[in-house]
Structure 1
Amino acid sequence: MRSITVINKPNSQLNNCRRALRILSAVLPLLIISIKGHTQAVKSYGPGSRSAETKSAIGPLLDAYNVSWDTPGPSSSQSMPTGNGDIGLNVWVEPNGDLCFLIAKTDAWGAAAPGEKNSWIKAGGILMKLGKVRVSVNPNPLLDPGAKFRQILRLHDNEIVVNEGTGEKAVQLRVWVDANHPVIRVESKSAKPVIVKVTLDNWRLGAGGDTVLSKRANQVTWYHQNTDDADPHLRGIIFGGLIKGNGLVRKDDTTLQSGRAAKAQLIAIYPLTTKGLSDRKWLSQISNQAGQIGQLPLEQARQAHRQWWDQFWHRSWIFIKGDGLADSTTRGYVLQRFVTACAGRGAYPIKFNGSIFVVDNPRYQQNAKSQGRSIDADFREWGGQYWMQNTRAMYWPRLMAGDFDEMLPLFNMYKQILPDNTKQVKEFYHHGGAYFAETSPFWGGLLYMGPEVKENWTGHYFTPILELSMMMLDYYEYTGDQKFAKETLLPIASAGIQFFDQHFGRDAQGKLLLDPDNSIEMFWKVHNPAPDIAGLHAVISRLIALPDNLADGKTKADWLRFYNELPALPVGEKDGKPVLLPYTGPQTAQGRNLENPELYAVYPFRLYGLGKPDLQLAINTFNVRKFKDKGCWVQDPIQAAMLGLTDDAQAYVTFALTRKEPTLKFPAFWATGHDYAPDEDNGGNGENGLQQMLLQTDGKKIILLPAWPKGWSADFKLNAPYNTTVQGSVKNGKITNLVITPASRMADVVDVTKVN
């Protein structure tokens, strides 16, 4: 049993804000890396990218990680994902040769059935599928004995190509979701003319609340409409689709078929979600959508689609060499980034518990002891609510990846939630400010959580607005987007700071007293929890450092006043070594989860790390942490990398990026863990950890190879704050071919391998 002694650590480096900001200056000797030659200026590659870089031939590098199968189906568990950021598909081929895919959309929010007993599914809406589509060809080459089959996901162009049969019987099916328009396209090509049939297979027709319009001229149109007794935030939502194609004629209300056999056929599917419109207006809007997009020349649309994805892949990359684990880790990183991009540009953030790629399962078991049952693809454990601690994992790595557009749905959701949460705080507590609940539907909302309310997992849990503010501050530093800072960052961060300032009292020394306050889900209603103290220190110091045109002197003075009232982080001893503690006072609170809240001071709030004071204190804390589980939502891969612990970081990252769900075929559909498959926070934490092993930033300082294994080589391009990109190679433990854009940022580079 370890002995624990509680110590009051002086807050010497944080007692003055301006001094606190200076701790970001280098402790490591600053080594300026010089390279021969010059930076080649070329055109910008993709949204959020910079204007000067060395363009790499990304296609051949990606081709090595295309996913290819030579055996069909038989079910959605053997599906490949694709999508355009809002519309997502799970694509597979059944043994009879039929191409099938589930259609999802980031805003297809339905309501739970009246008899639903699962409280998590009842509260927060259900992110439903739009339906399932089946494409058949006749004659079908896969029905021949020994017929060849191949299904391949081509990452660079984001298309799925299916080849069935050979020679005169060969048929090719190509599936892609247009990156620039809300349309799914399926193209068939065959050596000889074939009949193509497309069928809507929707399990919710009738009792499930979906409607198929009858006798539509050469098209299939269907929709789901939430009922009038649904939650007001879900009421009035209609989502569905329209299927059509030149040469396709109506066979029945759910089926279209070629009017005559042909060697080529195009099927177009147009999904649409509306809110507040009648079903008649929804039909008018989707008909207009189909008419306008349908007029686009196919090859022009294809080239624009491919160009978008080429630009996307040029934003950043990491390709590792060295051993089999290096290759499989690269595959996991590339595919996770791809899956995130397929779902990351829609109306709402990515769901940690399956994204828009959940599938049906005829043998689902909630746990090893429960009886198996059949579930459809609308089901996901933990329902439709957003957990900030889980959701963040997919969004932190978007910064270094340069996928800034994918962060906006997260920020916009909380921006829309803010006004009502502010009103509730005023109503409940009679003061200003706001916070975000740890678990929240997309429309937000709070429960009253006064000090007399019984403790629970997420009741007195106020941390999310601090972490979101930290992420938004990073987004601003990376992009320089002042409009975002004024309209999104500052309203949210200011409301959060005001809440903490006015909601909690002060102790005898005039310091902020956070009590009662959860130390995340781990310790309930404790005294001065470390995550909130760390978050307040980190966020307020950065707010004060913002340009004067974003925050005036009076506002900054008030922030500084509050900053100087913050308590120190709790520190104690374990085995004779100083360590951070999860909360202040005797460490007697019952642990409720499998978390290490004391390490929030490392990540996400970055008060400790390479080149910062008291690094050994943070390393001691990491080494004696209670929970060392791998995968899912654990933060250990990022925290280990930020502390320069290479072996630990490598072990956690490689585990996360190879942790495939055994019941699913796609190699980056991650295991259920504590969540639901595919487990997106598992992949996001792997991404983030790998990036932090290669590159970290501290103010303007760019730290290279802070936790990189000596046996791994790499080619990489990552993004850094102040509109900077860092591109280079790692060989034999050394950086080569380094290009920093803009070149003036070369003076800020620290190569850890040379320091050590």
Structure 2
Amino acid sequence: MDIYNPVWTSQSAGSHESMPCGGGDIGLNVWVEKDDVLFYISRSGSFDENNTLLKSGRVRLRLTPNPFRDNDFSQTLNLSDGKVIIRGGTTAIEVWVDVHNPIIHVEVNSKEKVETEVFYENWRYKDRLVRKGEGNQNSYKWALPEKLFTKSDIIEVEKEAVCFYHRNSSPTIFDVTVSQQGLDSVKNRFFNPLENLISGGKLWGDNLKYSHTGYGTYMDTDYQFWSLKSKKPASGHRICVALHTAQEEGIDDWKKALDRISRQADVLSAKQTAQKWWQDYWERSYIIIDKDRKGSEAWKTGRNYQLFRYMLGCNAYGAYPTKFNGGLFTFDPVFVDSTQAFTPDYRKWGGGTFTAQNQRLVYFPMLKSGDFDMMGAQFDFYLRILRNAEIRSQSYWGHDGACFTEQMENFGLPNPSEYGWKRPDYFDKGIEYNAWLEYQWDTVLEFCLMILETNAYNNSDITRYIPFIESCLTFFDEHYTRLAKRRGAKSLDENGHLVLYPGTACETYKMAYNATPTVAALTVVLERLVALDNHPVDKEKWEGMLSRIPPITTRVMDGRELIAPARLWERVNNVESPQLYPVFPWRLYGIGKKDIHLAINTYLYDPDMLKFRSHVGWKQDNIFAACLGLTDEAKRLTLLKMADGPFRFPAFWGPGFDWTPDHNWGGSGMIGLQEMLVQTVDDKIYLFPAWPKEWNVHFKLHLSGNTIVEAELVNGKLGKLNVSPSHRLKDVINMIGDR
């Protein structure tokens, strides 16, 4: 990984020129500005009353004498060890995070004795009025109630340490949403992740004592600081920040738990253990392109794949999944959009709001990268809110099954502003009154597929997730049967199939009849569930439902047969391409499968697909091209998507359609690159199905059947090829020779 380490030899102009660092479930933005070392602190699950994903503050380190004099400076992200190293003169500063305990470490080592001053900086030292436009960071979005505040944190000086925390008070957005959506009668049955939630931590050092407090302004935001100064000059200094997020009735219990966590900072083996975790992480999988042509477009593509995978690894074990709209690495928003002069807590599309279409692209690449242990955060997110989604179905429609909407809160109900504050009285209370999101509830089936894939790839025991998958399927069966019976005397069409109406093909083809992605999703999840062995599945029941799923609709345009987005639809509302969801993620068409020409025709000739084609953000054209073996297209779009982003750190893409760093931009780029290298169909392994011959590559990726493929292509020829288990070597089809 050392060939990909970003190395900066000049200081940064602001937080937008920061470098990611992290581990476990903590993300830091680290940069050096005007001779001060700074970093923002983010931790998974730190939501406030309004469902803003709060940062836990900013730390500033100042050394005397200044080690960066005479322009002697470097800042390096050491990928192999997962740490940032800052050097100036004879001084080195290492910043790293314990992967297994929520503790940040800063180590200063110098050949001369230096004094340190550490500032804990917090802009929530007071209640802050949420300004017009700022509501996008929370669940109110554009519909801010009058005088909505981000509540203040508590900051205390304790035994030469600074303790800081945000304690949610009632009511929260949970209470508001439940009431808005007419569910007060079942409120006491709901899982509520915001009640009594406390997030924060404490900062201390081996050689620090409290000095003073004061005020300042960084960018557009005023803050209060608490200063800790070294007791005496020394050649070595250690600074720690321990974090704790939990739902606790009282602050005393939270502080006791924080103290227990803090004691783990003294474990001598922690650094070695964290570095070993990162080294194993890099050995698990990789894609290295044109390693001898450093700086070329292809080389950058491989580097940026690794840099983004590093960012994903920083939330390997989060209580909540990595968010598509910035993950743990957002920075001062004015650098993304000059009109958004808000606090560092700001991001568009909410903090505790999860958009399924976007989240899926963050987690699908973890299958081929072999990062199965990191996928649990996304799966468990759904498991926690399963009961809430089932109560919702029973309350509104009187039938079973879990209804998961597209823009959904971390407690399983639709985002209140997307649900609609000004709804007609006659409108179905279970439907989002929103032109983009109405009837979009099939994306959850992609997470069902991911769960099933972890079993196929890694033989993971998914027993505890089976009720979730079955509940999602039950919703579609019972809900669309109910709707048909309300329209007429028959619950099925003339062919004995469910009538999936009204539905939607993504956010694009609205009020759809038998939307193609829904049909594909139900078909594949049911087939995979029925085929599952060694898990408690009612196969007869699900075989019956599978027989009721309608076929995918095709259409003829200019004499060519194409996959249609649905059988019928009323309007086009967005710019997605659900016509090819049967290619990815559902893999009903593709290399090695029959009727691939239908999908290729759709890619090449569908007028909407041509109009919507792009590499930006969550666009999937690069994935479709790779899955269909369209090498030139896959190469062209991948070079665009995986090129350096607009910020100093190359993998800080966006904002695209969302925010920066755009994690569904990076995720879709990873998926496309993986698919260019290797694909599986049944028991066949297709090697280099969409890979340009002129790109040298060395890769190691995971496939279904507990299979790992490591291969090297040099000057258009296959070099190294290792397949584990070895008996699967016979299944490999090297497609590079066909071009």
Q: Which TM-score band applies after superposition, normalised by the shorter structure?
A: 0.7 to 0.9
Distance of 1:98 and 1:453 partners within structure 2 = 48
**Which residue type is aligned with residue 361 of structure 2?**
A
Local SS of the residue matching 1:288:
helix
Alignment counterpart, residue 83 of structure 2, candidates 131, 145, 159: 159
The whole-number CA distance in structure 2 between the counterparts of 1:361 and 1:496 is 37
- Asked if 1:631 corresponds to 2:616, the answer is yes
Number of the residue aligned with 1:442:
410
**Offset, 1:211:** 4.0
Which of these residues, 200, 203, 206, is aligned with residue 126 of structure 2? 206
Cα offset, 1:218, TM superposition? 1.3
64-73 or 248-257: which moved more?
A: 248-257
TM-score normalised over the length of structure 1: 0.84
Provide the residue aligned with 1:231 in structure 2.
Answer: 173
Name 2:489's counterpart in structure 1: none
Determine whether 1:244 maps to 2:204: yes
The one of 506, 509, 512 equivalent to 1:526 is 512
CA 1:698 to 1:600, structure 2 compared with 1: closer, same or farther past 3 Å? same
**Conserved 8 A contact 2:9-2:74:** yes
Q: TM-score, normalised by structure 2?
A: 0.86
Aligned position for 2:7:
68
Aligned to 1:556: 539
Equivalent of 2:66, from 140, 151, 154? 140
Query: Residues 73-84 of structure 1: matches in 2 within 5 Å?
Result: 73-84=12-23
Contact (CA 8 Å) 2:248, 2:254: kept in 1 or not?
no
> Are 2:661 and 1:689 aligned?
no
The answer to whether the aligner puts 1:583 opposite 2:566 as a matched pair is yes
Deviation at 1:453, TM superposition (A): 7.9
CA distance in 2, matches of 1:745, 1:105: 41
Matched-pair identity in %: 34
Aligned partner letter, 1:86: D
Which residue is 1:374 aligned to?
Answer: 341
Which moved further from structure 2: 266-275 or 212-221? 212-221
Q: Is the 8 A contact 1:670 1:682 kept in 2?
A: yes
**Is it true that 1:504 corresponds to 2:480 in the alignment?**
yes
Give the partner amino acid of 2:286. Answer: W
Task: Give the partner amino acid of 2:694.
Answer: G
State the shift of 1:583 in Å: 0.9
**How far apart, in 1, do the equivalents of 2:328 and 2:430 lie?**
38
* Amino acid across the alignment from 1:68: V
Q: How far does residue 755 in structure 1 lie from its aligned partner after superposition?
A: 5.6
Verify the 8 A CA contact 1:700 1:721 in the aligned structure 2.
no
The residue aligned with 1:477 is 456
Alpha-carbon spacing, 1:386–1:615, altered in 2? closer, same or farther (3 Å) = same
Alignment of 1:182-221 (within 5 A): 182-208=102-128, 209-221=151-163
Distance 2:399 2:86 in 1: 60
Structure 1 stretch displaced more, 731-740 or 611-620 = 731-740
Please say if residues 300 and 644 of structure 2, whose CA atoms lie closer than 8 Å, have aligned partners that are also in contact.
no
Q: Equivalent residues in 2 for 1:236-635 (5 A)?
A: 236-252=196-212, 254-291=226-263, 293-297=264-268, 300-321=269-290, 324-362=296-334, 365=337, 372-384=339-351, 385-446=353-414, 449=428, 456-482=435-461, 485-488=462-465, 490-505=466-481, 506-547=492-533, 549-551=534-536, 555-585=538-568, 589-625=570-606, 626=608, 627-635=612-620
Once residues 503 and 707 of structure 1 are traced to their aligned partners in structure 2, the CA distance between those partners, rounded to angstroms, is: 41
Number of aligned residue pairs: give it. 658
* Deviation readout 1:194-246 (Å, 9 max, x if unpaired): 11111101111122534454442111111111222223432311111111121
Cα pair 1:461 1:521 within 8 Å, conserved: yes
* CA shift digits 1:59-90 (9 cap, x unpaired): xxx11110111111231111000110301100
Letter matched to residue 476 of structure 2? F
The Cα offsets for residues 379-407 of structure 1, whole Å up to 9 and x where unpaired, read as 00111211111111111110110111111
Shift of 1:141: 3.0
Change (3 A) 1:215 1:127: closer
CA deviation map 1:32-81 (0-9, x unaligned): xxxxxxxxxxxxxxxxxxxxxxxxxxxxxx11110111111231111000
- What is the CA–CA distance in structure 1 between the aligned matches of 2:576 and 2:109, rounded to whole Å? 53
Task: Tell whether the 8 Å contact from 1:465 to 1:493 is kept in structure 2 after alignment.
Answer: no
Please state how far the C-alpha of 1:659 moved relative to its aligned partner: 4.6
User: Which runs of 5 or more structure 2 residues have no equivalent in the other structure?
Assistant: 129-150, 175-191, 214-225, 420-426, 482-491
> 1:750, CA displacement in angstroms?
1.9
Q: Distance in 1 between matches of 2:114 and 2:152?
A: 32
Counterpart of 1:747 in structure 2 is 730
Residues in 2 aligned to 1:531 and 1:215: alpha-carbon distance in whole angstroms: 55
Gaps of 5+ in 1: 1-61, 113-124, 367-371
Higher RCO (CA < 8 A, seq sep 6+): 1
Segments of 4+ moved more than 6 angstroms: 450-453
The code of the aligned residue for 1:708 comes to W
Helix, strand or coil at the partner of 1:513: coil
1:171 corresponds to which residue?
A: 91
Q: Specify whether residues 481 and 214 from structure 1 end up closer, same or farther in structure 2 by C-alpha distance, changes over 3 A only.
A: closer
Q: Is the 8 A contact 1:84 1:179 kept in 2?
A: yes
What's the counterpart of residue 87 of structure 1?
26
CA RMSD of aligned residues (A): 1.8
* Residue type at the aligned position of 2:166: H
- When structure 1 is superposed on structure 2, of 407-416 and 355-364 the one drifting more is 355-364
| Helix, strand or coil at the partner of 2:44 | strand
